[in-house]
A and B are shown apart, each in its own frame.
Chain A
């Protein structure tokens, strides 16, 4: 099966007076139809830049320096092959964005327009991207709220009258207005309480099941991804360090950074584990060491790490193409 979104050798740099900051560095990642990919990384790891770059939503000083983004949606059957996003003209991009790839932005608190009612914001999106009558659009707005479990009486509400969880639900309803093929979710639950967070995540999982869109879910919280995602990509300093199914990442993390992340969050259930954490702090992208960017914090680092190839290679001896890592030296340990 060919992927809906195929990111190949993709690089983004921020042009600064002191030289280029390579925020995304030769990333390869494919998203299949109906799949949830979790993109895990700390602040500054380039995870948002990667996602926004894939829809060409970055503004200068960000520049896409290399790579290709191929999109192949079910509504593009007429075309021979996948469409190259990086070569699209403005009006093609306008059709791609939201209609094909929608985004749920971080911090719903600020992403909604405070002076427009929920209905007007929904109508705005619907009219901008779909050609339907006013009456149909109003009916659609109401049914979108049904979809995310908000009573229709809230159509007249303004953002400040809604709780944080409801605002986030409105954001999700807006993203789903055009029945997109791919939904990018950028930390959609970070500012919410755990109880509301779980509510929204189970709603997202339910809607995905029902409508069949694929999700690129960006978060710094790996523990959340283990539950939600089909596959997980771990990003650090603009590069992917490991990609695998959620089960593989949990049971046989191959990269020392992934292992460190897994032992960084305190568990609530089961016996108390020894928590190790990761010493040091995330690197300064303006001043990266040669070779592996994780080397200064890595317990297994050797001289050879200074000139390793950061390409993703299958883990261990098994030729499983699904589970790949950038670290050629450390063999996976099977977790108990």
Chain B
């Protein structure tokens, strides 16, 4: 990591949801990370791992149960409408589904004009729209501005949602599975566009995904989440090439491998099929992955391991790190 000050700091974020009957779901537990200007941090995990909840906490859309968020060194408060709006002009969110996140009855122009007027009081709106359309490469701008969402392809719609997020000139972009609803052939182009935007506009980006392979190519740092906790973190190339946590290892072993023509599928990954014991009473005891982990022993079932620093940039939460080197 670079020696610059972080744009955004997430400090020990936790979020509990009450489920009724006294049950509590620990959706996010003690999650900390920093986002740097021009850098990408990937939050990788399966559905239900808490990665979207973590992003919603950062976006100010959920109240923290405990923990703190700092933006450019200052503690964040979104208590009042005014404070929330100010925060929003610096931290923007891109949703997963461009088919659902754009209002079908508004033109692209209307969708983009509103955030521009809201967040940049004295901007020349027309000029600003042209700049935005140019940034997301929807040209000719005039032609696209007049269109409705249904007249656009999936990729074009997602470009519009990028432009909408950029309209506030944010310093932080939270991208929640921005390409997973798109066709394979255009995903790469969209990631390249995001990559270009964060470099050119020096945006700090959180990239949420279930596809760890895309994180390898697109992110600087990878955080692997399981049942609300970060179980492994480190530079993208290191985490994907030498994973240390058994869950990361399973995740990588499970990804389709085009170099394995019809060979490995029949062997199975050798992992039990239990779901994580999240939400169950006493679920805070023990390692959440212990119900599926091939290395689990009594200690794993009783004590939840904390993140252990493996090097200056890497950490993993497992009692058996001595056994997990490949």
Contacts and interface: CB of A to CB of B under 8 A. Distances in A.
Interface of A: 42-43, 149, 163-165, 193-199, 201-202, 205-206, 209, 220-224, 226-230, 246-247, 250, 260-262, 264-270, 272, 275-279, 281-282
The 9 closest A-B pairs by CB, nearest first: A277-B188, A193-B46, A42-B183, A198-B254, A278-B185, A223-B256, A226-B258, A266-B217, A266-B213
B261 interface: yes
Interface in B254-303: 254-269, 271, 273, 275
B187 interface: yes
A163 B214 CA distance: 26
B153 A282 contact: yes
Interface in B239-255: 240, 250-255
B185 A202 contact: no
B284 to A, nearest CB: 22
Given A202-B267, A268-B255, A282-B183, 14 more contacts: A195-B250, A195-B254, A197-B254, A198-B254, A199-B269, A202-B266, A202-B268, A222-B258, A229-B262, A250-B261, A277-B185, A278-B189, A281-B153, A281-B155
B201 interface: no
Contacts of B255: 194, 268
Given A226-B258, A279-B189, A267 B266 contact: no
A150 B255 CA distance: 23
Given A195-B271, A265-B213, A266-B217, A227 B264 contact: yes
Nearest to A165: B273
Nearest to B212: A268
B267 A246 contact: no
Contacts of A226: 256, 258, 260-261
Interface residues of B, number: 47
B184 A209 contact: no
Nearest to B237: A272
B210 interface: yes
A204 to B, nearest CB: 8
B217 A250 contact: no
B56 interface: no
8 contacts: A42-B185, A199-B269, A223-B256, A229-B262, A262-B258, A268-B257, A269-B259, A277-B189
Contacts of B250: 195
Contact of A278 (B186, B214, B252): B186
Given A194-B254, A195-B254, A202-B268, A246 B261 contact: yes
A223 B265 contact: no
Contacts of A164: 47
Contacts of B266: 202, 205-206, 209
Contacts of B109: none
A220 B258 contact: no
A223 B185 contact: no
Contacts of B214: 266
B5 interface: no
B243 to A, nearest CB: 10
Nearest to A193: B46
Contact of B261 (A165, A206, A247, A282): A247
Given A43-B183, A272-B217, A281-B186, A227 B254 contact: no
A221 B180 CA distance: 12
B156 interface: yes
Nearest to A197: B254
A113 to B, nearest CB: 23
Residue of B155, B253, B258, B269 with most partner-chain A CB within 10 A? B258
B46 A224 contact: no
Contacts of B258: 222-223, 226-227, 250, 262, 265, 267
A29 B240 CA distance: 39
B119 interface: no
A268 B216 contact: yes
Nearest to B189: A277
B192 interface: yes
Contacts of A193: 46-47, 210
Contact of A281 (B156, B218, B275): B156
Contact of A261 (B185, B189, B192, B263): B185
Most-contacted residue by chain B among A43, A246, A265 (CB, 10 A): A265
B45 to A, nearest CB: 9
A276 B185 CA distance: 10
Contacts of A223: 256-258
Contacts of B268: 199, 202
Nearest to A247: B261
Nearest to A201: B265
A230 B257 CA distance: 15
Contacts of A228: 262, 265
Given A221-B256, A266-B214, A268-B257, A199 B262 contact: no
A52 B206 CA distance: 40
A261 B184 contact: yes
A221 B184 contact: yes
A41 B315 CA distance: 40
Contacts of A250: 258-259, 261
Contacts of A229: 262
B188 A264 contact: yes
Given A195-B46, A195-B254, A282-B153, A230 B213 contact: no
Contacts of A261: 184-185
Most buried by B among A205, A250, A260: A205
A227 B257 contact: yes
A51 to B, nearest CB: 18
A279 B186 CA distance: 7
Nearest to A224: B256
A206 to B, nearest CB: 6
A107 to B, nearest CB: 14
Contact of B256 (A42, A165, A227, A270): A227
Contact of A227 (B155, B189, B240, B265): B265
